[in-house]
Structure 1
Amino acid sequence: MTVIDANRMHEIEARYPEYFHRSFRQRFGGLMILIATLLYGLYAVWFFDLPKLFAEAHWERVGIYLSQWVSYDVQPDLRIQDDGSIEVRYPRFSPLGDHPHPDWVFNNPDGSITVSISGISRSVTVSKSETIVTAHGVSVPVDVSSGAPEVVGPVPSWMTVYDDNVLADLGFAGDVSISVDRVKVRKRFLGWANFIFDTQSSFFDKPVGEVIGLVVSGPRIKPDQTNLSLAFEDIWNNSEWQHGDVWTKLFQTIVMAFLGTLLGALAAFPLAFLAARNITPNRLLNQILKRFFDFLRSVDMLIWALFLTRAFGPGPLAGSGAIFLTETGTLGKLYSEGLENIDNKPREGIKSTGARTVLVHRYGIMPQIVPVIVSQTLYQWESNVRGATIIGAVGAGGIGLKLWEAMRTNANWENVAYMVILILIVVFLFDAASNVLRHRLMGTKTH
């Protein structure tokens, strides 16, 4: 063990002062960053008024929307007539078809009607003078014989009384709205109703085995058309889910992303050579092109889409143009920076042989820059599939516009879920395909 005396220690400190005499930034830099982060967090809480925001947020809507993503509802409307009879009506476009007779609506011998919302544990029985709601282990009668509905006895927590109606919330199973002359029931089912065949289809409400039998070897439903083509036509033209329109718009989104990225890459590639300082020794031209790239990138794709929809009208052309302009700026910057970071030795070696400029670029630059071009272009391509969905919402065509229309109604959340799942699948597939293509072109192995 070596012992260092005081003189030796002072000598070492004098020789290596950077290790023994740290600056203020080196000693307290980490603590200052931590304090600045905390102060910024407190400022953000105050600026956005987060406590009030969280307190007033409608968190219950999250559960409502999520439940509507994975389910559908049927809404029988029980009308109490003047003679005491009860008429059951359904919305015009009911998931049960034009003439529904569900087995969970019962006509009782005394003239009342019982609707089973979730078995016998949750149900509603409607008569001329009284409506009885059974849920959570209790039965609550509501008197409808007077001018306004009135709950008989204590009002449970899952029931809300208004001036002219009483609302019973039965959770995911549904709800019941009770007024003097009508009782509106909402019964919820898991799944997506009529996803394959709508109520207008010849195959509607038929068992799977029967549909397969008709398609494979059954007698023709329409003499001039095979059952297979009829089934495909009914699926494609499903009026509720609009599969044909959704898939066509999804294909438009993919084409917009591909075309816009391809045109942007083709435009950015030659401009990048002119913008790179080590390739084109003209500082004025370099700066003009780089500022041009910055301008194209600084205007968001969504803003370009708004401009182009004004110029060319709504449609995929505006979307492709918006992606093209944005990608010209983005890829031009990436390509030019990649060119400026290449190793000049291979280029100088080929140039010394007296080769033409085209050959110098081909053999001295391209082998180094191709991995950057391939990687960045493929990444932007898959990213633009998502971007094309967003710009579609402002009229640039594609599935984004379809998605926005479904969300705007605030009633077709199962259709929203369908389109979101399709978009996710497409993004996953494009991500996997671009990864495979990138590794193959660059000669690396996938893991």
Structure 2
Amino acid sequence: MQSLTAADFDAIAARHPHLLQPSFWSRFTAPIILASAILYLVFCSWLFSVGTVMSSANWGIAGSYLAEWVSYEERPTIAIRDDGTMKVDFPRFDPIGPNPNPDWLQAKRETVTRTITTPATTAQPDAAPASSFSFMAPADPTSATAATAASTQTVTEDVLTHALVQMNPEASIEIAPPSVTVVHGDETLSISLGADSVKAGSALPTWATQRAPGEKIVLSFGFSGWAEVRSDAVIVHKRYLGWAGFFFDIDSPFFGKSWSQIASLLWSGERLDPAQSNLSLAIDNILYNPSWQHLDVWTKLFQTIVMAFVGTLFAMIVAFPLSFIAARNITQNRPINQLTKRFFDFLRSVDMLIWALFFTRAFGPGPLAGISAIFFTDTGTLGKLYAEALENIDDKQREGVKSVGAPPMAVQRFGVLPQVLPVFASQALYFWESNTRSATIIGAVGAGGIGLKLWEAMRTHTNWENVAYMVLLLLIVVFIFDAISNALRSRLIGKRGH
């Protein structure tokens, strides 16, 4: 065949120019798609007010929450009395133990003599018995109200007259009523304390906020912590990196001891509790730590794992035979196919969280509600996936088994199952791994497991280190299950040819 020359191509292009020119859609498909995507993003930004939300978001609070995941706080309250003296109070369950005396809080003490006035009080004596003759009996002179005169008492005590809180090497709070001086890097803020008001001596810097004139002033020092300056107190939140009392609570005899001291006590030390060994006491203190509740957290985590496993297992067992009924090439009955598929749609169209709420009302809070929610949702989803896998099998293998006169059950066993069983197992393993995460979510609505405990810790807005602890445990479990699931799937599918 003679090849076309350039002149021939030019002649053809001259006679049929429309054949060599691209169509409108082929030329502008990419620009149209790009413009549509940009318009869609702009519409979403307007619909959800993304710009307003981003501009009004308090990123400082978000940063503080994240910092509290890996830290703990010392929270002394420096109360200011009417006479200008002060008193430092620490929380009852302080993370570094009772009666702390941190080196970052320097207090100047003086001995003062104070006069305390006890106001006058009145006391009513016991009522006289009513007259048996008349309810209008004359008053008994001895029943007159007894009065106690006001009394004064002079006491001598040590009080605080000056305090310096060193938040970090570049930030400090000096408290000398009626004024508070805050140093933050190169900036200094003077605050005057009134009877019921707090007033800044100058414009507030970026690290200080006050909602309204006279209200408290909140000071932010980054990761070092923050403080509130009120008219009658300065509340300090000094932050430390780490988890306080993770192993031993402040009430434990092992609290505050170094690891070498603890090892010595466990190995050869005298018994701290005559009723049990030091090792038994240490394990008991760790498991029943009131701040971290290790045993309860691990128990709830185990409940979450069992919920995910049992719910997925039951769903797989029920979805397996139903999928053969739903597959059109296996069950040659269209009404039954459609009825089974609509049943799958019903189960999976209701979200797992909604099923959890329903079963929580039916069975009460607990793992049974969580197992039922996972079972219902996954039965619908696995049934649909299994049915689709069956409808996409190679019929040649099934026809080959039929040709030797095998009964219907043998046809399914040897002609269908070898093709779909690895896929079924792979999908079930994936759902087991995914349901470990889902069980945490449904646990927050009362379906048992660690989800409820995680939600309780988040609601307090103070136990974010406990939240981080449980999230870390969940991550470890998910990583382990992901590795197990991947290994099993690779053996079932990826390495069958080896």
In the superposition, the TM-score normalised over structure 1's length comes to 0.90
Q: Which residue matches 1:6?
A: 8
- CA distance in 2 between partners of 1:151 and 1:419 (Å): 42
Q: Which residue matches 2:149?
A: none
2:225 aligned residue (168, 174, 193): 174
Contact 1:253 1:385 in 2 (8 A): yes
CA distance 1:304–1:179, shift in 2 (3 Å): closer
Q: Deviations over 1:217-270 (max 9, x none)?
A: 211111121211211111111111121121111111111111111000000001
Task: Determine helix, strand or coil for the equivalent of 2:340.
Answer: helix
* Equivalent runs, 1:123-142 vs 2, <5 Å: 123-137=172-186, 140-142=189-191
Q: Aligned-pair distance for 1:93?
A: 2.2
Q: Deviations over 1:356-389 (max 9, x none)?
A: 2222222111111012111111111111111111
CA distance 1:18–1:241, shift in 2 (3 Å): farther
Q: Which residue matches 1:354?
A: 405
CA distance 1:178–1:22, shift in 2 (3 Å): closer
CA distance 1:279–1:7, shift in 2 (3 Å): same
2:364 aligned residue (313, 316, 334): 313
Q: Aligned-pair distance for 1:7?
A: 7.5
Matched, 1:189 2:243: no
Q: Which residue matches 1:396?
A: 447
* Equivalent runs, 1:94-243 vs 2, <5 Å: 94-108=94-108, 111-137=160-186, 140-144=189-193, 148-152=197-201, 156-160=205-209, 162-243=213-294
Q: Which residue matches 1:256?
A: 307
Structure 1 counterpart of 2:46, one-letter code:
W
Contact 1:174 1:186 in 2 (8 A): yes
Aligned residue pair count: 442
Task: Determine helix, strand or coil for the equivalent of 1:194.
Answer: coil
Structure 2 counterpart of 1:93, one-letter code:
F
Q: Which residue matches 1:379?
A: 430
Identity of aligned residues (%): 51
Contact 1:237 1:243 in 2 (8 A): yes
Q: Aligned-pair distance for 1:8?
A: 9.4
Gaps of 5+ in 2: 111-159
Contact 2:167 2:173 in 1 (8 A): no
* Equivalent runs, 1:15-26 vs 2, <5 Å: 20=20, 25-26=25-26
CA distance 1:46–1:122, shift in 2 (3 Å): closer
- When structure 1 is superposed on structure 2, of 287-296 and 17-26 the one drifting more is 17-26
Gaps of 5+ in 1: none
Q: Deviations over 1:4-61 (max 9, x none)?
A: 44379749x99xx998576654444434333332222222122212222222222222
Structure 1 counterpart of 2:251, one-letter code:
Q
- CA distance in 1 between partners of 2:202 and 2:391 (Å): 82
Q: Aligned-pair distance for 1:82?
A: 4.8
Structure 2 counterpart of 1:158, one-letter code:
W
- When structure 1 is superposed on structure 2, of 297-306 and 52-61 the one drifting more is 52-61
- CA distance in 1 between partners of 2:490 and 2:11 (Å): 55
CA distance 1:7–1:407, shift in 2 (3 Å): closer
Structure number with larger C-alpha Rg: 2
Q: Deviations over 1:58-109 (max 9, x none)?
A: 2222212111112111111112345554321012222122322223323336
Q: Aligned-pair distance for 1:151?
A: 4.3
- CA distance in 2 between partners of 1:160 and 1:29 (Å): 53
- When structure 1 is superposed on structure 2, of 435-444 and 109-118 the one drifting more is 109-118
Task: Determine helix, strand or coil for the equivalent of 1:240.
Answer: coil
Contact 2:315 2:376 in 1 (8 A): yes
Task: Determine helix, strand or coil for the equivalent of 1:108.
Answer: strand
Contact 2:199 2:214 in 1 (8 A): no
- When structure 1 is superposed on structure 2, of 157-166 and 396-405 the one drifting more is 157-166
